[in-house]
Structure 1
Amino acid sequence: MSWDLSTLFRRHAKDIARTLHRRGLTVETAADLTQDTFVRLLVSPPKEAAGVNNPVAYLFRIARNLRIDHQRRERVLKMVDLSDDEFAEITDQSPNAETIVYDRQRLELTKAALAELPDRTRRAFELHRLGELTIAETAATIGLSSTTTWTLLRDAYEHIDARLNRP
């Protein structure tokens, strides 16, 4: 048995969604279950021996069964409607263990890369990046021109980037 799912979807998806909505589901849930109905048919079509001759009735039966399953789950599970702020309060903002280990490794590589830099380059980088000085302020502090300071900073960034991205 081969049913044209594309044609069935175009002709009957709206009717299935409308029926599900009339049976007490939200528009969004009805649309989701309509999609699930066609996915269910696609994944496990009826067997030849089942004698299913009416594809529309079969689709509506699948949708009905999915609606019943959904409503049973809804009765068992307690749903809570949270605002975005309330949801943000319950989420864990702390990094996971893998992220912590990875970041610590990168920090150690960065420290090692900084130690490899010439003193003047390292000092310029630390003043600019860690001391949050502008390039002009950094240049005035170490007694160099802005162009030379910018070159030192570029060299420092390239050196650190090369160390962090080593294979």
Structure 2
Amino acid sequence: MSWDIPTLFRRHAKEIARSLRRRGLSAETAADITQDTFVRVLASPPKESAGVHNPAAYLFRISRNLRIDHQRRERLLVRVDLSDTEFAEIADHSPTAETIVYDRQRLALTRAALAELPERTRRAFELHRLGELTIAETAQAIGLSTTRTWILLRDAYEHIDARLNGL
């Protein structure tokens, strides 16, 4: 016997979903189980020796078994109604492992790029960026004009950016 799945789906999918809805499932769950029924048949059709002479009955039996499995799983789940704020508190805001590795790589590249800078440019960058000094305060600390200090900082940022974009 040949199983023409598209034809069987057109003929029986609505009936299977309707039958699942009558047994208390939501429309979405019934649609999911209906699709799972046909996926199950696609993945492993009945053997010729199984003697399946009524494909519709076979499909309904599979959907019934899937419904029972679904309802068993649902009984095991504990449902809790949470407000939006309670739900937001559950979220884990810690970075993923991939983010940690990526950030560490970028930090290592930044350190290497800083080490490549001339001493005065690196000192200006560190005072401005890490020491949180303004450009005028940085200029005064290293004994340069504000314009020259700004050029050093721009060069430092461009150099670091060029190294990081190579990642």
TM-score by length of 1: 0.73
**SS in structure 2 at match of 1:144:** helix
Q: State the structure with more CA Rg.
A: 2
Q: Please, which moves more after superposition, 63-72 or 152-161?
A: 152-161
Q: Report the alpha carbon displacement of residue 24 of structure 1 after superposing the two structures with TM.
A: 0.3
Call closer, same or farther: CA 1:85–1:33 in 2, change over 3 Å: farther
Query: Which structure 1 segments of 5+ residues have no match?
Result: none
2:142 is matched with none
Distance in 2 between residues matched to 1:84 and 1:7, nearest whole Å: 45
1:54 is matched with 54
Letter in 2 for 1:58: Y
1:88 is matched with 88
2:78 is matched with 78
TM-score by length of 2: 0.73
2:9 is matched with 9
What is the number of residues matched between the two proteins?
A: 160
Q: Report the alpha carbon displacement of residue 106 of structure 1 after superposing the two structures with TM.
A: 3.1
Q: In 2, are the aligned partners of 1:110 and 1:160 still within 8 Å (CA)?
A: yes
1:63 is matched with 63
Q: What is the RMSD computed on CA atoms of the aligned residues?
A: 3.3
Q: In 2, are the aligned partners of 1:114 and 1:160 still within 8 Å (CA)?
A: no
Q: Please, which moves more after superposition, 148-157 or 4-13?
A: 148-157
Query: Which structure 2 segments of 5+ residues have no match?
Result: 140-145
Distance in 2 between residues matched to 1:8 and 1:150, nearest whole Å: 71
Call closer, same or farther: CA 1:50–1:6 in 2, change over 3 Å: same
Q: Please, which moves more after superposition, 108-117 or 118-127?
A: 118-127
1:115 to 2:115 alignment: yes
2:33 is matched with 33
1:158 to 2:162 alignment: yes
Distance in 2 between residues matched to 1:89 and 1:29, nearest whole Å: 29
Distance in 1 between residues matched to 2:33 and 2:165, nearest whole Å: 50
